[in-house]
Structure 1
């Protein structure tokens, strides 16, 4: 039996590497400038201390050195900012905890201080000195279509790739490793191209195929599989930091992001030329505007690359410059292999990129409108982009709008009649003698009618058609908006009794006016108390999807509503069970009227309660009597209102059935603007305005004025034949995807701090072929996979291991562990559980219900048996399985996965329910192969490892099953068999052979 892995995982929230120049300039220098150097700088040095250079800090002031390298607790500056004793700095207020942590970590790392520089030092120069010097760096040089070198061993090379590699090996006296066996090769190629294992039948068929084109046909079959796009789409999603949430402090969902994810997968499957692939992601909406209508949606969706940028802070509209920085950083590293965002605060310290370059690109993004995902103070999304062309949408929506206009015109006519009838009905107002009671309640208050001193409610004379009206009006701040009401009217000398809650609660929407329980019609009226308004016209069932919450309203307010549930209902506040409420308009009252069906005297009881404290004030209320028989006028008003309610119902139905444009989480053109430099990266400190343009070192072309944001031009510059970086960076990524490490070992840093290529001529030759092949990614796969280099075994002789321990010369193949998605998908396949259908949107809660906050962020995961690329990805909380096995961090571009081997990974194989479930299903498939142990073991190994068990495997398995059976002696035979084979399946699925690719 292959030995098990001992694996683990440690979840670490890593602090920035504050020993680095980039983090110093981003975090430390601005803090010292803003909070310390006003008193301890060049203009003023209180206590003889300056904090504007490393030398000055280590020298210190009157009380000694301000910092001790590597020892923050012994550093006076730390003691002062932590305000431990009489040293209390800054004198006005204490630094925030995160600021103190920044300075502590910086000193702990040695208090490194890069050479001085700032965003204003070169603003008058047309081209910086760094840009001029950077032209000599290898990655900025034009591509050279090198001639493949001559080699001594002419038998080994299968193509030009092999000649470049073999020449290097021969120069060091080395030879390539032997060719891998066919099972190893098909498993390697299948995982590399699809992220899935081959089936045992596919392995057997390939092993028997002796045709000269067997390898080529296999590669073509794999490239034609939909699984190819899912595998290589996942590589791309790593780079663009794909996520299904926004990343701000409440981590709002972005329900439409999945369209971009699926577009990426589809683009790889269609082999969209890489230059077009890039252009669409930067300016697809602009490209689509001039193209055929059937391509319009694709162009919109592709700009999800920009839209899925991280959002920051509490109110993300206030920190949009950080989102632009995230885009520039991701775009630079992904497409160019350059850390452009390092120039946000100052000219790049090492690469030929100036702060002017950064803000020239920032202006392009500031001229672009990004979809808004929502945030805590503004919970609903906005600015999502329709996927249909405007002209086509106008044709689609026209019949709907015409129908709405007809209903609205009729509603307006009836509303005018209601207004006239209401003015006649309620003309003259109410005399003081007819006010039965009045009062007010403060914010959070409650009062029974008649409780006010001297305000006892006397019995009231009524006749048929008399209205008693309870009105609730806002006070100065419209504070107690949701107001609970109880109203009971009883015949003074008779059996009649009317209770508002009992009469209307269970069927509030039956009508307005509403009947009572005694069979009288048109007794209860729900009224807009503002002049000329009349009965509330619009019924809404289950407002916001809340079962039991029913409303009569006019617009949003005023309204009368009920919680008909037997339990408390948490909505904008907590509504008590089985209660009726009113909500006045900001500019006038709402009323509940009772129209008497009897003649005599009635008593009035009830209560009014603020149901939503925090206003900050309450409401006023009054109960008045509208004398006389008003039944004829009320009947006319009821007829008009019934017609108005019916029209409102038809309008709501029409709106519910309205065509809805499909929306994409994408970008669109905004208002053209050029960005000022933010001095030291601070958006509150504006420097000179920089016109939008391309990087100086790559040409510096300007965005034409009046031609839009500049994204169309930017897309062209990124993939221009004169840009030597685009092709180099992408072919290096493809090479890395097959050999585990790129020809440039720092795949997203081709600048002066990155590693130079191990085979520069090969890199340029591949980049040149890439362009000549029409930027075809699939053609590059074929070229690499059909090379002799890709066929090598992963073993090397002792001489090769000594001279080239890191395998930089590619004289053997590198063994690797499967990545997180490959492990999970392979487990699903072994268990027969994988759902191969493409994923779609995630089942996020309705947007109308969103109330996510910093303390209650979105954090749901959704189970699925689809491939792992379709798992929901949250920015502020890692998907547990992918986090455990080193999945990509969706908060930043991930050019290469880590590969950890830590104890919690071993615990996964011991305890995780998902793993146990798949192992149990694999065992079930093996048991179903037949009654004999041999047949079952054959099936288990073929399903899990795509090979037959060897003699040693059979012996180990037999001993394992015997020991396990002895432990299960008391179990029913079928259950004992199931448990023993499940345990054996777990051992196989946790083995190195399953988890590693040779």
Structure 2
């Protein structure tokens, strides 16, 4: 039998070493005993094709790098090496291989190898970045630097046409003839504004025979505010814009509209694309370094980051998923890279590692994202002010001074009041006498039937009815009825309900019906008899439900309405209640205004059964000294209430500033890698840096979060992806497909460009033209490639059925927004004013949950870009007509044709309402011009002779057929039906 030479050498060496009484050569030991074991048992799961746990054992570099759980070997120390522990199944480490333990001899050989220093002669192999080698990544087409290719000289004067025609020539094809002028202006107007051209605009273009006629149209449209609304919508698709957060209760984002409008404005102003990107990633940092008139817009721009989707129930616990959404969107939208795929492991296909992902993760983890609210924490927080801090300090300084002065006086009064109340409590304890007491069980009641029939009273004495919680604080809302009748004298009567019900909040202490002030008292008796300080109107939004309280409890409250009120329980009408605190009593007191005798009646009733226990109560009588002290306390209390009102008025008039749903700097730090993407399994710390394939530049010292540096890396003219990706997007929205058909994926799983030289030429022009998107539009739209007709040609269809070579212009259907806006335009109902905030309910009223999430759509006649976008529920119209999914980046709209779209034109109330308004406009014209008016509204042209004949025939047939309609209404019904036919026709829905 023949052996390979290395095995012979190893065998002879082993014999020699035994003969000489020493161990085998470590290299020979590896080749003879270790490599075979690794190949047979390990590299299937830990080799080049598969790396379970992030570990490779097919190269020395692999085990040196270690896996998700840390270093694999400690050379010289087998007992501390994770690999040896796994082979033995020791120290709680899962046994490897999982399908059967190695033999004792094999394990001993591996232990000896590690003990001898883990000598491994294997070459490391080519360096890898994710799913490709470093060399392959360097040569990947989209990672190569953008170079300006020479323009083909053999065809055309326009460089775009030259590149396109050069490709066509290779297939013996040519461009199609130019589109007719009416088709061209309709196409161009929709492309740039998303709206139909007016009849006047079409007529003016048709009459303009100058060589610059079309260029003037393009310039006019680029200057229109509608341009920003149309192309801003493309960007909002890309960055998954929404007006709700996306977590399980889908909380509203009342300030998100500011970012939407910022995008529209920036697109209209043609903000250079590199600046456009920088402001969205780090506008707040730029603004803070040089505050100026751009401060607020730049803060608002970071709404791009803040609008990242939120997840789960308590969104703070799933913030790693929000960062994943951010990284994924930044990668796809700005770079055309699927960076999010590296959250759990190195990218399987592209040159992106898990360390790349967590290097970026640390940047966003060093950023404070505005909090939208969620089910357990309803209210938003960390919204970002739109005024520079120094300027805001100047504005708010006078207010803060006044507030501080009031707070000093309040603190002094509260101290004086507390001391007086404690002294009063001590005196009352020794001077008071108990008239009656009792306890009521859950859901029951108890009358004051054990009181003396006659009670002697003197002016200034105090009667106090206290209600105290029992051990489970079961009866929270307790009904009180208390009547005091004078015996003899003027036979006056004091009734708690009658005296205070209709004006409970007038004062505390409260007057009686006889004109006596400070008779009825509402007291917190936990630390002494203190008047309840806070007046609260319309509790829980229920009119007529008012209270005096100290915090939520204790309180005295009344339902002054004539009907029961359903709140935490059903409260009977025209009644007074008390609610003790969980740690002490609440009391209602009567300061006696007479000398004489009285009779007391009333009851205490559990108004909210189900506690599980009831309440205790006691009625006490205090002498005049206590009453005098109470009056002194009341004076303090009234001063305190007046000062509280002064403070409340001051707070209500406090200067305010607008805020944005945006981001701000947080404490900068590097993040730990999450093993297998699990934040509960942290790995090593990963320094914040740029992607390794582009140099892996680290953040400089004291860089803050790193967002500004990240923006610089992405928006650099030397970045090979950014310009290519954006140029491709603009091309896509003009032609219906990109030069790269996968606009969000320029990696190895995406499509290669059909015209790579044209893509790079346009990218070069884009950067050299100061990143101007409007200039890019002009360059594309003034080409013969853009202006050609859409008619099908047999020669082109035979060679290039998908029109990848652009031998004609592809027909397209209007997007959902274009369709809705066109219907509103035809009906004359489109509101062209810019959209603002949506009418969300006040934040204080929010109580959204996973069972009752926010899900409201608001009607509007404004352009569709301003419609509310709800993440957890599709808009009925845009959901039907392929609107963008606000939960993820949408680089290109789907184009579906489904039966429900046809049913929409038959049945939808909105469509019928717009058609009826178009019909009304036509019927207001003389009969001879009605059809012209109808065609102008729908198609911006007059009908042909053939169309006139067809319309007349239809109107006659319809009028004859609708015999169940009164004669006077038949004409209107027929014209309305004709209108609906035109508005649902291909000419209305499609662009050539």
Which stretch has the larger CA shift, 809-818 or 496-505? 496-505
Q: 2:548, 2:555 within 8 Å by CA — same for their partners in 1?
A: yes
Deviation digits for residues 714-744 of structure 1, max 9, x if unmatched? 1111111221100000010000010000000
Residue of structure 1 in register with 2:787 after alignment: 791
1:716 pairs with 2:723: no
Name the counterpart of 1:448: 446
State how far apart, in whole Å, the 2-side matches of 1:43 and 1:977 are: 92
**Pairwise CA distance, 1:459:** 5.6
Question: How far apart are the structure 2 equivalents of 1:190 and 1:617?
Answer: 73
2:759 match: secondary structure: helix
Distance in 2 (alpha carbons) for counterparts of 1:448 and 1:367: 61
Query: What residue is the counterpart of 2:465 in the other structure?
Result: 470
Q: Which of 508, 512, 526 in structure 2 is aligned with 1:512? A: 508
894, 900, 925: which one aligns with 1:898? 894
Q: How does 1:118-133 map to 2 (within 5 A)?
A: 130-133=133-136
Q: Offset at 1:245?
A: 0.5
Q: Distance in 2 between matches of 1:742 and 1:612?
A: 68
Corresponding residue number in structure 2 for 1:809: 805
Measured after TM superposition, the shift of residue 646 of structure 1 is 2.1
Worse-matched range after superposition: 290-299 or 256-265: 290-299
Q: 1:441 to 1:874 in 2, by over 3 A?
A: farther
Q: In 2, distance between residues paired with 1:830 and 1:612?
A: 61
- Structure 2 equivalent of residue 279 of structure 1: 278
Q: Which has the higher contact order (CA 8 A, sep 6+)?
A: 1
* Aligned mates of 2:949, 2:261 — CA distance in 1: 47
The secondary structure found in structure 1 opposite 2:535 is strand
- 2:990 is aligned to 996
Partners of 1:255 and 1:420 in 2: CA distance: 46
Residue 242 of structure 1 aligns to a residue whose secondary structure is coil
Match of 1:80? none
Partner of 1:653: 649
TM-superposed deviation, 1:636: 3.4
Asked if 1 retains the 8 angstrom alpha-carbon contact of 2:129 and 2:351, the reply is no
Which residue number corresponds to residue 780 of structure 1? 776
Match in the other structure for 1:119: none
Residue deviations 1:189-226, cap 9 Å, x none? 11111110111111111111111111111111101111
Helix, strand or coil for the counterpart of 1:851? coil
Q: Counterparts of 1:363-382 in structure 2 under 5 Å?
A: 363-382=362-381
Other structure's SS at 1:288 match: helix
* Superposition deviation, residue 508 in structure 1: 1.0
Task: Find the counterpart in structure 2 of residue 11 from structure 1.
Answer: none
CA contact (8 A) 1:407 1:651 kept: yes
1:976 maps to 970
Deviation string, structure 1 residues 696-716 (Cα, Å, up to 9, x no partner): 011211122432111111111
2:529 & 2:463 partners in 1: Cα distance? Answer: 18
Q: 1:940 aligns with which of 934, 940, 951?
A: 934
In the other structure, the counterpart of 2:6 is none
Aligned partners of 2:185 and 2:674: how far apart in 1? 54
Contact 2:483 2:602 in 1 (8 A): yes
Partner of 1:149: 152
CA–CA separation in structure 2 for the residues paired with 1:331 and 1:356: 17
Q: Hey, what does 2:340 align to over in structure 1?
A: 341
Asked if 1:681 corresponds to 2:677, the answer is yes
1:837-885: CA deviation from partner (whole Å, max 9, x where unpaired): 0111100001101001110111111000000111111111111001010
The residue matched to 1:937 in structure 2 has which SS?
helix
Give 1:334 shift. 0.3
User: Residue 487 of structure 1: SS of its match in structure 2?
Assistant: strand
User: Secondary structure in 2 aligned to 1:859?
Assistant: coil
- In structure 2, the partner of 1:318 is 317
Quickly say closer, same or farther: Cα 1:236–1:621, change in 2 above 3 A.
Answer: farther
Relative to the length of structure 1, the TM-score reads 0.84
CA RMSD of aligned residues (A): 2.9
Aligned equivalents of 1:457, 1:281: Cα separation in 2: 78
User: Does residue 1:837 correspond to 2:833, yes or no?
Assistant: yes
| Cα separation, 1, equivalents of 2:570 and 2:321 | 37
For the structure 1 residues 728 and 567, does the alpha-carbon distance in structure 2 shift closer, same or farther, using more than 3 Å as the test?
Answer: farther
The 1:861–1:571 alpha-carbon spacing in structure 2 relative to 1, beyond 3 Å, is farther
Whether contact under 8 Å (1:941, 1:947) holds in the other structure is: yes
**CA shift at 1:422, angstroms?**
3.2
- After TM superposition, give the deviation of residue 141 of structure 1 in Å: 0.6
Aligned counterparts of 1:819 and 1:570: Cα–Cα separation in 2 = 48
Is 1:158–1:788's contact at 8 Å kept on the other side of the alignment? Answer: no
Per-residue CA deviation, residues 966-996 of structure 1 (Å, 9 max, x unaligned), is 2445655553332222111111101111011
Q: Deviation of residue 441 (structure 1)?
A: 5.9
Give the aligned partner of residue 190 of structure 2: 191
Indicate yes or no: 2:746 matched with 1:750. Answer: yes
For 1:416-815, list aligned pairs within 5 A: 416-430=415-429, 434-439=433-438, 445-449=443-447, 460-474=455-469, 479-480=473-474, 482-491=476-485, 493=487, 495-531=491-527, 534-543=530-539, 546-569=542-565, 575-585=571-581, 587-598=583-594, 599-609=596-606, 611=608, 620-628=616-624, 630-815=626-811
> What displacement does 1:925 show?
1.0
Query: What SS is found at the alignment partner of 1:197?
Result: coil
Matched, 1:136 2:139: yes
User: What's the CA shift for 1:625?
Assistant: 2.0
Q: Which moved more, 1:397-406 or 1:711-720?
A: 397-406
**Distance across 1 between alignment mates of 2:437 and 2:448:** 8
CA contact (8 A) 1:483 1:611 kept: yes
Q: Is the 8 A contact 2:256 2:661 kept in 1?
A: yes
Q: Could you say which residue in structure 2 is the equivalent of 1:12? A: none
Structure-1 separation of matches of 2:579 and 2:907: 54
Query: Number of residue pairs matched?
Result: 880
The equivalent residue for 2:816 is: 820
Q: Secondary structure of the residue that 2:139 maps to in structure 1?
A: coil
Cα deviation, 1:88-141, whole Å, max 9, x if unaligned, reads xxxxxxxxxxxxxxxxxxxxxxxxxxxxxxxxxx9x999666455322211111
Greater gyration radius: 2
Conserved? CA contact 2:425–2:529, under 8 Å: no
Structure 2 partner of 1:882:
878
Determine the C-alpha separation between the residues in 1 that align with 2:582 and 2:236: 49
Task: State the distance in 2 between where 1:949 and 1:666 align.
Answer: 52
Cα distance in 1, alignment partners of residues 476 and 699 from structure 2: 54
CA contact (8 A) 1:484 1:579 kept: no
Using the TM superposition, give the Cα deviation of residue 897 of structure 1 relative to its aligned residue in structure 2, in angstroms.
Answer: 0.6
Show the counterpart of 2:111.
Answer: none
